[in-house]
Structure 1
Amino acid sequence: MSSKHFLNDPTHLVTTALLSIPHTNPSVACDISNKIIYLKPSSSSASPSQVSLISGGGSGHEPSFGSFVGPGLLSGAVAGTIFASPSAEQIRRCIQHRVSREKGVLVIVMNYTGDVLNFGMGVEKARASGLQVDMVVVGDDAGVGRARGGKVGRRGIAGTVLVLKISGGLAAGGASLKEVSEVARLAAKNLVSIGASLSHVHVPGRAVNETSSDELQESEVEVGMGIHNEPGSERKVTDLPGLVKTMLSHCLDTSDKDRNFLEITSSDEVVLLVNNLGGVSPLELGGITNEVVEQLANDWKIKPVRILAGTFMTSLNGLGFSISLLRVTDTGLGSGRSMLELLDAPAEASGWSAAISSETWKKREEVAKEAESVDVDEVQPSNIRIDFGQVKDVLTTALNRVIVAEPDITKYDTIVGDGDCGIGLKRGAEAILSMLEKTKKTDDLLIFLNNIIQVVEVAMDGTSGAIYAIFLNALAHGLRSNASSSPQPVTAEVWARALEVSLQSLSRYTPAQPGDRTLIDALHPFVKTLSKAGDIDSAAKAADEGAKGTRGMKASLGRTVYVGGEGWQGVPDPGAHGLAELLLGLSEGLKK
């Protein structure tokens, strides 16, 4: 047993925690292979046909999101590993196989790059299959101001649960997908939050000294700390009244042009959520809540019409709390469907304050008919032909080059990120190499590419995995759109046109452009050079030059914005470097 945790194996910890949820709420089931908690069809609300609500993200924020699945709240929740987004394939399976799709599906996700990309790709794949799906992104954290947040925007934190509860109440009442989506966006727009913590959290499976180098000093508190150990806006030595004063000021002071995202006046109806980040005792949280309520009344003339205090969204065992303020706004939907009525509506979810009814408990002995979905997605053949042996050899050369480059990529990402980029790329490369040895030979490029896409979506998670998966799916669409009416070998011109389509599709899910210090700095010149010159050697060299050009470039997207350490000026962007190595490997393989 670890001195820090009873369960120190992060994989086993996440798995067993998910398996525990149906024990506490008989209305839900667990698809453990995809880390999905979902509402049993027999346990839906009175109306069998309602908009399904899905959320999720990295594990470590419990009871968010799995324990919010239940009648009146979420229909499904998808979990990633600790502090990492779930894969797009997990999300697609939840949308297409685990929730009702009759009236549409709304996905609500917090504003983190990996979550937005992976959930976005899952949404797009569901739309492509003909489903009605919408997505709302919540960014409520005032801890990072406009200047520092840049293109990333505000992070999503505990205020997200208010958006989920209001949306869940509306969906349970039979509202349309359009109505639920609009109200979710309205709630998110009228929301502001901020957190504070006395220490960074320790992640199970990591050495104790991995999280102690930047630890807070005695009596020091970090204002605005993120829920993944991201730095806040400042560190200070203060008491609770001084801390709450600072936090409320960041949320409410209209003179702070960098952090003031929402104007709340004494005439507004306000919902207050005081959230335990995991390590604060209920006794102490009560004292904190009282301080917040008194300061709101005395200093801001705000008397909340609803006060929720408890554990809703944690950062593992974080020794801190967050404050969220929701400005109650007219939904325009009439009686019974105001924000307050929807917030007060009953919900049977073990992570919410409403109790599970006796009737539901009686159903716990029912034998669940959990037939595993076949989940076979047939790929339509195309007229684009390849030489399987040649393509396999070229791809093998490129993937081996990525594997060899992993130590450098990891070193760079340790300096500017969270150190997992190289491992993720290596894992994906090894999985594709394994697939190449086992897969049936085919001369159909689209079938071959789909085999790679399936591997990437399962083997690679996080931001890089999402970007590669979105790009490859869009590439498949671009290739099919440019295929001839009769079987023909693939040409450089077809590749170039398809890659242009992929690049354009990727821009829908990330605002990254050349100069933002991301893998786009390598991808963009590769695609543009290939389109212009029709020569992969020149295109790969352009990608390499683009990656090298990220040295000294300040990041404006991704986790590097928050956690980039010292020495970033001297290293290239890890994602751009990894992609450049892959593309150089393709060029090298073609010359053999």
Structure 2
Amino acid sequence: MSYQAKKLINDPRDVVTEYIEGMVETYPLLQYLDGFPNIKVVLRADVLGSTYDKVAVISGGGSGHEPAHAGYVGEGMLTAAVCGDVFTSPHVDAILAAIRAVTGPKGCLLIVKNYTGDRLNFGLAAEEAKSEGYNVEMVIVGDDCALPPPRGVAGRRGLAGTILVHKVAGAAAAAGLSLTDVTAEAKHASEIVGTMGVAFSVCTLPGHVTSDRLGPGLMELGLGIHGEPGAAVADLQTADIVVSHVLKQILSTETKYVPITRGNRVVLMINGLGSTPAMELMIAAGKAVPQLQLEHGLAIDRVYTGSFMTSLDMAGLSISIMRADRIILQRLDAPTKAPFWPVSVEGDRPPAKIPIPLPPSKIETNVELFAKPQELGEQGCILEVAIRAAANEIISLRDQLNEWDSKVGDGDCGSTMFRGATAIMEDMKKCYPLNDAARTVNEIGMSIRRVMGGTSGILYEILCKAAYASLKDSPVITSKEWANALAAGIAAVSKYGGAGSGYRTMLDALIPAASVLKERLDAGVDPVNAFVMSADAACSGAESTKNMQAQAGRSSYVSAEMLALVPDPGAMAVASWYRAAAIAVESRLRPSKD
């Protein structure tokens, strides 16, 4: 039976902002950026990016995991934390705002949990920051030991072991190390830690009803931190049995999740998931230490017990084990003023809010740039025809894409693409510089960023951003330069999304299209014919996804039998708009003689 959860909140949409407001009032060495509603960044009050003489360490992710990530902002740990909405990756603009606010000459390290949305948003922010002149590196943490080795790109999820990586990196940065060395220490720490979680209840999102997925007398093994189902459901067991199972899973010699063997020294973290009493956490710690010593032959150098990375109000715990060495222990023991490591906080209270820093480049709005009506040249007219045809095709396919996605995903592919296509149509009327193809491609990416959200939105923006970078220095854009821009966009999507040909994603339409386009142009085929041929290749590639086992995204958890019923919705969306654009260009340049 479902029921409305009791929460001490106001509007569910404001919980993250109000949480941050309370946090900076409680801990005077913290501030937050104030200015735009989608920017939720907590940062050290004693750091100013332009003068900061150490490596900045930035992390973040969806909210709902408190005290992570904002609770670990402070001298000796994180320089800033970027807070997304509940269980939602933070916006690229918020990540960029954090980088600009705290990054000095020594650069910054982004520590990212291994979830697709986080990888893509932080990845795009890193690329944009680099283009502005910042020195940025990124380390991805995937410490989950619950699921079997993955077939595709999703990989191991980032869990509570990430907090240990934060501490190692923050201490290394505080010691004055270079960005290269801080990155190396953080990467090493991420490779020697493993985590597994066990839940006794399901968490409840603010404003939602409580799920009855996990009934009385049951527990879930190997869950993530977003309330998603675990690897298995089992009857509730005693603390001895639960702890024993988790330790054996993390230290399994078959899966080899972490390089820990008998005789090693380790650090142990017992982490509450939100509503687990301290009594139960201490019981787990008391059982884990002797089991690690007697059954696994490990020496325990440090034990951390408490709630470090939660899942709202979930009952349960996770256990993390990290191999210890002299440097790791030195970093973990180094002093920090991060409030939830935990330590006391001293000092005068500075202002709780500071303005969001602007990019170092010129600040211009689309309205200022493109307020005057444009007299379109021939190339601008062709571009307008192609964009309009592509967007209208996606608008007409909303229900079909949603239907396909309901069988292999979360059922909103069509609605998400519809939002992007509608925004493109509206923005094209107002501010697209259609006579400048490169800038128009960049503006399409900005339209998508504003409204689409989710993994598909960030992938399309990455595609546009990389294509723009390929085109922007060309005074005259030829067909071959368009082909090169498409290839550059595909390479960027593959780099940050992790997928490739045959993974059952949008790339299975884009890659064949790009390949055929280049081949036909190199062979001297007329550009319009080459465009239409490449559209046919995109359609064939999208249809072929019916025969593929998904290796990325939510479809990777769906059975092969179900996947065979429908093509990949993302690939079909690409093929549809790409073909519509090709046909529209052909019709424009070669009108029917009838």
Q: Which amino acid aligns with 2:153?
A: K
Conservation of the 8 A alpha-carbon contact between 1:89 and 1:457: no
Shift of 1:187: 0.7
The change in CA–CA distance for 1:156 and 1:386 in structure 2 (over 3 A counts) is farther
Conservation of the 8 A alpha-carbon contact between 1:142 and 1:261: yes
Instruction: Name whichever of 173-182 and 8-17 sits farther off.
Output: 8-17
> Could you tell me how far apart the structure 2 residues matched to 1:105 and 1:193 are?
26
Match of 1:510 among 481, 487, 497: 497
Partner of 2:269: 273
What SS is found at the alignment partner of 1:509? helix
Shift of 1:63: 1.5
Q: Deviations over 1:168-210 (max 9, x none)?
A: 11111211111111110111111111111123323334455xx
Shift of 1:519: 0.9
Match of 2:80 among 61, 71, 76: 76
The change in CA–CA distance for 1:532 and 1:371 in structure 2 (over 3 A counts) is closer
What SS is found at the alignment partner of 2:298? coil
Match of 2:225 among 227, 230, 236: 227
Q: Which amino acid aligns with 1:518?
A: T
> Could you tell me how far apart the structure 1 residues matched to 2:340 and 2:122 are?
22
- State the superposition RMSD in angstroms: 2.8
Partner of 1:132: 135
Q: Which amino acid aligns with 1:410?
A: N
Identity %: 34
> Could you tell me how far apart the structure 2 residues matched to 1:517 and 1:529 are?
19
The change in CA–CA distance for 1:81 and 1:476 in structure 2 (over 3 A counts) is same
Partner of 2:478: 491
> Could you tell me how far apart the structure 1 residues matched to 2:339 and 2:41 are?
12
Shift of 1:43: 5.0
> Could you tell me how far apart the structure 1 residues matched to 2:563 and 2:362 are?
43
Q: Deviations over 1:516-544 (max 9, x none)?
A: 11111111112112223343322223222
**1:262 and 2:258 equivalent?**
yes
> Could you tell me how far apart the structure 2 residues matched to 1:161 and 1:229 are?
19
Partner of 2:551: 556
How do 1:234-313 and structure 2 match up within 5 A? Answer: 234-237=232-235, 238-254=237-253, 257=254, 259-313=255-309
Structure 1 residue ranges without an equivalent (≥5): 331-337
Match of 2:533 among 535, 538, 556: 538
What SS is found at the alignment partner of 1:195? strand
Conservation of the 8 A alpha-carbon contact between 1:18 and 1:35: no
Shift of 1:76: 1.5
Q: Deviations over 1:392-423 (max 9, x none)?
A: 34312321322232233233333323344333
Conservation of the 8 A alpha-carbon contact between 1:111 and 1:137: yes
Shift of 1:497: 2.1
Q: Deviations over 1:252-309 (max 9, x none)?
A: 131xx2x322242443221111111112122222222222223223322334211111
Q: Deviations over 1:448-470 (max 9, x none)?
A: 22222222233333321221122
> Could you tell me how far apart the structure 1 residues matched to 2:177 and 2:123 are?
23
What SS is found at the alignment partner of 1:351? coil
Partner of 2:173: 171
Q: Which amino acid aligns with 1:156?
A: G
> Could you tell me how far apart the structure 2 residues matched to 1:403 and 1:57 are?
31
What SS is found at the alignment partner of 1:270? strand
Q: Which amino acid aligns with 1:417?
A: G
Conservation of the 8 A alpha-carbon contact between 1:59 and 1:83: yes
> Could you tell me how far apart the structure 2 residues matched to 1:29 and 1:589 are?
52
Shift of 1:9: 5.1
How do 1:104-503 and structure 2 match up within 5 A? Answer: 104-146=107-149, 148-206=150-208, 208=210, 211-212=211-212, 215-237=213-235, 238-254=237-253, 257=254, 259-330=255-326, 338-357=327-346, 359=347, 362-364=348-350, 366=351, 370=355, 373=358, 387-439=379-431, 441-480=433-472, 483-484=474-475, 488=476, 490-503=477-490
Shift of 1:499: 1.3
Conservation of the 8 A alpha-carbon contact between 2:432 and 2:440: no
Shift of 1:386: 6.3
> Could you tell me how far apart the structure 1 residues matched to 2:510 and 2:12 are?
34
Q: Which amino acid aligns with 2:73?
A: V
Q: TM-score, structure 2 length as denominator? A: 0.87
**1:92 and 2:88 equivalent?**
no
> Could you tell me how far apart the structure 1 residues matched to 2:506 and 2:482 are?
19
> Could you tell me how far apart the structure 1 residues matched to 2:303 and 2:377 are?
63
> Could you tell me how far apart the structure 2 residues matched to 1:301 and 1:443 are?
69
What SS is found at the alignment partner of 2:183? helix
The change in CA–CA distance for 1:262 and 1:51 in structure 2 (over 3 A counts) is same
The change in CA–CA distance for 1:162 and 1:126 in structure 2 (over 3 A counts) is same
Instruction: Name whichever of 433-442 and 36-45 sits farther off.
Output: 36-45
Shift of 1:35: 2.9
Shift of 1:378: 6.5
Partner of 1:335: none
What SS is found at the alignment partner of 1:570? coil
What SS is found at the alignment partner of 2:295? helix
Conservation of the 8 A alpha-carbon contact between 1:89 and 1:458: no
What SS is found at the alignment partner of 2:159? coil
> Could you tell me how far apart the structure 2 residues matched to 1:374 and 1:265 are?
48
What SS is found at the alignment partner of 2:497? coil
The change in CA–CA distance for 1:412 and 1:282 in structure 2 (over 3 A counts) is farther
Q: Deviations over 1:89-126 (max 9, x none)?
A: 3322322x221222111011011122112211211222
> Could you tell me how far apart the structure 2 residues matched to 1:159 and 1:367 are?
30
Q: Deviations over 1:53-94 (max 9, x none)?
A: 111112222221122222221112222232222233332232
Conservation of the 8 A alpha-carbon contact between 1:38 and 1:99: no
Partner of 2:523: none
Q: Which amino acid aligns with 2:542?
A: A
Instruction: Name whichever of 162-171 and 84-93 sits farther off.
Output: 84-93
> Could you tell me how far apart the structure 2 residues matched to 1:275 and 1:248 are?
14
Q: Which amino acid aligns with 2:139?
A: V
Conservation of the 8 A alpha-carbon contact between 2:31 and 2:352: no
